[in-house]
Amino acid sequence: MSAAIAATALVPSLAHANWQFLGTRRVGMAGAGLALPFNANDESANPALYAYLNSDFSLLMPNFGFFTQNISLSDFSKAIGSISSGGVSTSKLANFAQTFGNNDKQLGLSGSLGFAFKGFVISGAGAANVKTVPNASLQADVQNNVPIANFNPNDALDGYGYGYYSYEAAYGMFLNQKPTVTSQPRIAVGVRIREFKSYFDHSYVNGNQIIAGSTTATQAPEMNGNNVISKTGLGADVGFEGQFGKDLYAAVQIRNFIKPPIGFAATLPQGQTTGRIGETTVDPFATMVDLGIGALVSKNLYGAVDIVDASNAGNSQELRAGATFNFDRNFSIQGGYSSRYGFAIGFGAYGFNIAYSQVIPLSVSTAFRF
């Protein structure tokens, strides 16, 4: 199992975003490690790394991850719903606006579970991202502590929610034998097939609804009167990895090589648009190319540098650099830096891993076997 959202940005432009699951060790390395073999026990790993899973049946390392923007997880729980509702609880939106309409708020949650057998991986994953967008009038009322009864009728708060479930089958294999210092590189290839079901909701509350603390919200035009809309589709990732001698690795990964058709036409927040459907889209699965190198720098110290979304096709290009030091087989520490999201640290002990970064405040995993 792996998870931790890599800072998906469901922003008002609602353009392509980088919804990428990362194992906790990689979160501690600021997301770096695309080419390192020990990341093969991550459900979201470069699928070529599954070639290293040559043991018998095993459960991949389970994780949980979340991130928030401008709000705590407990406070955001007052506005969120299930993935199948698009992540937004419309009955709570007006009351949420009364207290938390001072600026944009965002929450992302993810989790997944995977099983491996000699290069084959079967897994499932789920994620949700919710963003609330108040207009300038509501921000002013909340920031100035205006009594709710005196809020401006022109106030408005939009709630966007996007969530998905996926079921995945993957396989990685070596094309040649393990290299020695003088032999040719050992090349691994892999593919991951994913079946998705996605959910979307965009609803809003106006000033009168906010003042009344309404338990209903108005659906945005693209919803066509539905409380939630959903889509299904197939996607695929492919990966390549090379081991050069004993200490150097390189990798290429093409995420969404087959792009899943699970995006939605949407409108911008109230007051920022005339409401035309298709002015923007919520489509977080662009086809993206990632490049990575890794090395055993010194005894027990591994380093990695990755270029994520190298062509910026998903509007998420970044440079990641990180390292992990293994004190022995039971203890390790990680650290890293992302050009987009800043610093990260992590720690592992007896199969339990925990990581913190500036954008993912908590990611945990354990080697506990169910």
148-167 average pLDDT score = 92
User: Would you state the pLDDT for residue 8?
Assistant: 32
* Residue 301, CA distances (Å) to 50, 123, 298 in order: 22, 30, 5
170-186 average pLDDT score = 78
302-321 average pLDDT score = 92
Per residue in 262-303, pLDDT (tens digit) is 999 888 888 776 667 777 788 888 899 999 999 999 888 999
94 has a pLDDT exceeding 80:
yes
Residue type at position 33: G
pTM: 0.83
Backbone angles phi, psi at 139, to 5 degrees: -55, -45
In the chain, the percentage of residues whose pLDDT exceeds 70 is: 84
367 has a pLDDT exceeding 60:
no
User: Would you state the pLDDT for residue 38?
Assistant: 86
Contact between 250 and 35 under an 8 Å Cβ cutoff? The reply is yes
Residue type at position 20: Q
5-13 average pLDDT score = 31
Three-class SS string for 171-200?
A: EEEECCCCCCCCCCCEEEEEEEEEEEEEEE
Count of C-beta atoms within a 10 Å radius of residue 41: 24
204 has a pLDDT exceeding 50:
yes
45-70 average pLDDT score = 81
Per residue in 218-275, pLDDT (tens digit) is 999 999 999 899 999 999 999 999 999 888 999 999 999 999 999 998 888 887 766 6
305 has a pLDDT exceeding 90:
yes
Strand partners of residue 167 = 124, 195
As a whole number of angstroms, the distance between CA 278 and CA 281 comes to: 6
6 has a pLDDT exceeding 60:
no
User: Would you state the pLDDT for residue 5?
Assistant: 29
77-103 average pLDDT score = 75
Contact between 26 and 32 under an 8 Å Cβ cutoff? The reply is yes
Q: Which candidate, 209, 226, 222, places its Cα nearest to that of 92? A: 209
36 has a pLDDT exceeding 80:
yes
User: Would you state the pLDDT for residue 11?
Assistant: 32
* Residue 49, CA distances (Å) to 10, 41, 173, 189 in order: 30, 9, 8, 8
